[in-house]
Amino acid sequence: MREVAPGAVHLPGWLTLDEQRRLVRACRAWATGPVPMRHTVLPRGGVMSVQTVCLGWHWQPYRYTRTADDVNGRPVPPLPEWLADLGRRAVAEAYGDRADAYEPDAALINFYDDRATMGLHQDKDERSDAPVVSLSIGDACLFRFGNTETRGRPYTDVRLESGDAFVFGGPSRFAYHGVPKVHPGTGDPATGLTSGRLNITLRVTGLR
Ligand SMILES: O=C(O)CCC(=O)C(=O)O
Ligand SMILES: [Fe+2]
């Protein structure tokens, strides 16, 4: 475990291979619908290079809704309790105490192919300052974790590998972060993912 910035904790190798396999299987099913995984279109017409599917609440730039109005209008599936439990365990491990009160109600599942990246951004469409839990499976990536003020320095570059968790809360909850590069061919096919990178972020929206 390494505290990258105050409240931002990297937990390398946190998921077992079995947990990663289960997540890959579940994500494959969620990717097919009721709302299919797709490249999110930004308000000014840009298209994100990652593909995304949501649970609990649907995220479209820059808000959460119960139905996927920018895809097919269908309600998104609920966030299962076993996934929320993983989030609680990660928060407990990162901050060294119990996290019974952590109730994530949205998950964003992102798939990165070899060329996909994610620009530096803040996760700030939530109306809660509860931590974000990020789980990574498949190819390793360069994850850039910055500060709450600017897209620039200071930032820390972290290599996120399959099975890693990264929790950001407290003073780092609204820090800029992004994925400048995925490292093709670095994942273990035993996870069930033979290429690309899967990232799942659990969030508390503060919405109802
Ligand atoms: O893929 C990652 O590691 C980060 C994903 C992310 O920042 C997001 O979905 O908001
Ligand atoms: Fe993010």
* Ligand 1, atom 6: closest residue by C-alpha: 178
**pLDDT higher than threshold 90 for residue 99:** no
What pLDDT score was predicted for residue 203?
98
- Arithmetic mean of pLDDT over the chain: 97
Classify domain 2-203 by CATH architecture: Sandwich (2.60)
Residues with CB in 5 Å of ion ligand 2: 123
CA 188 / ligand 2 centre spacing (Å): 24
Confidence grade of residue 42 (pLDDT, cut at 50, 70, 90)? very high
**Residue-range domain boundaries for the chain:** 2-203
DSSP collapsed to 3 states, 129-166: CCCEEEEEEECEEEEEECCCCCCCCCCEEEEECCCCEE
The confidence score (pLDDT) of residue 73 equals 98
pLDDT at position 29 is 98
* DSSP string for residues in 9-47: EEETT-S-HHHHHHHHHHHHHHHHSSS--EEEEPTTS-E
The pLDDT score that the predictor gives to residue 121 is 97
pTM reported for the whole predicted model? 0.98
* Model ipTM value: 0.99
User: Residue of the nearest CA to atom 4 in ligand 1?
Assistant: 178
- pLDDT of 97 reads 83
Asked whether the beta carbons of 149 and 183 are under 8 A apart, the reply is no
What's the gap in Å between 26 CA and the centre of ligand 1? 18
pLDDT for 7 beyond 90: yes
Tell me the pLDDT tens digit for each residue of 179-196: 999 999 999 999 999 999
Does the structure show a pLDDT above 80 at 129?
Answer: yes
Q: Write phi, then psi, for 185 (nearest 5 degrees).
A: 80, 10
76 DSSP assignment:
P
In ligand 1, the atom with minimum distance to the C-alpha of 134 is 3
Is 134's C-beta closer than 6 angstroms to any atom of ligand 1?
yes
User: Residue 36: pLDDT band by 50, 70, 90 thresholds?
Assistant: very high
What is residue 98's predicted lDDT score, i.e. its pLDDT?
A: 77
